[in-house]
Amino acid sequence: MIRALCLLVLLVGCRESRPAAGGNDVLHGEWSAPIEPFRIVGNIYYVGAKNIASYLITGSAGHILLDTGTREMVPVITNSIAKLGFKLTDVKVILSNHAHFDHVGGHAAMKRATGARVLVMAEDAPAVAAGVDMSPLGDEGWDPVRVDAELHDGETVTLGDTSLVAILAPGHTPGCTVWTTTAREDAKSYSIVFYGCSRPNDSVQLAGNKRFPDLIAQTRGTFRRMRTLAPDIFVTMHPEDLFAGKLDQLRANARPHPLDDPAAWPKLLDEVERDFANHLKR
């Protein structure tokens, strides 16, 4: 079933690497800097920052916002939504890819600004609600936010004519979530996947992790599940490198799609799994 959903994939956040120097200061600073928003495909828009993604999925009954980035990105996202001609108050649902501060750091502020419902995979919901990183990384926290509903593997979130399916993909965080949907453009229909659940961060202890004794098996299970996907296109949650040299084409709605490369997905998975194997050896 997952394979059928993924003729085309927009991968949001796959490698999830942290900056080599500057640490979280870079995430809060340079990576959170504004860029001009743009449409990716169909009803899916990029409203994120320079190197931290946030996605707006628009619909007739309102809009869905996937990830809110760092706290510094709240005005970035707010301004980007307005620049695209949409109303902030039309955001009715806020989703998350996973519970790290650079992906849910603006949830509380965006919920206050929009009144949207916050929906989170059950395994990440306690962290989002508490504002505490409960993942293997154990990084800095964020403003707590009320979770309006907990989601489970395979559950569908529907808002008017827009639906997204939540796929549980643990390892990076306990409730890391791959989202699938369908976007239509002209006479063509695209299956879309939003993905940010590659592997645990480099600093995480893999073997003998007392807090997460099943971490290795869970991560390998996620790899196997991702191998069932067959995308044509992916984008990453930290997309600066991927967008390099292609932003003008994306903003011009160039076709064929500038990110259309079916061979890129298996190559990416090979790289992620190789990085994981090296991490495990260390």
Q: Say if residue 247 is exposed, middle or buried (CB neighbours under 10 Å; 0-12, 13-18, 19+).
A: middle
Q: Confidence class of residue 17 from pLDDT cuts 50, 70 and 90?
A: low
Phi and psi angles of residue 58, each rounded to the nearest 5 degrees, phi first: -90, 155
Q: Confidence class of residue 20 from pLDDT cuts 50, 70 and 90?
A: low
DSSP code of residue 152: -
**Per-residue pLDDT tens for 184-230?**
888 888 888 888 898 999 999 999 999 999 999 999 999 999 999 87
Helix or strand (DSSP H, E) at 93: strand 91-95
In the chain the domains, ranked by start, together with CATH numbers, are 2-281 (3.60.15.10)
The answer for residues whose C-beta is within 8 angstroms of residue 183's C-beta and 6 or more apart is 41, 42, 43, 44, 189, 190, 192
**Per-residue pLDDT tens for 33-82?**
999 999 999 999 999 999 999 999 999 999 999 999 999 999 999 999 99
The answer for residues whose C-beta is within 8 angstroms of residue 5's C-beta and 6 or more apart is 165, 180, 182, 191, 193, 229
Q: What is the pLDDT of residue 10?
A: 41
**Per-residue pLDDT tens for 154-165?**
999 999 999 999
Spatial contact of 64 and 54, defined as CB atoms under 8 Å apart: no
Q: Confidence class of residue 14 from pLDDT cuts 50, 70 and 90?
A: very low
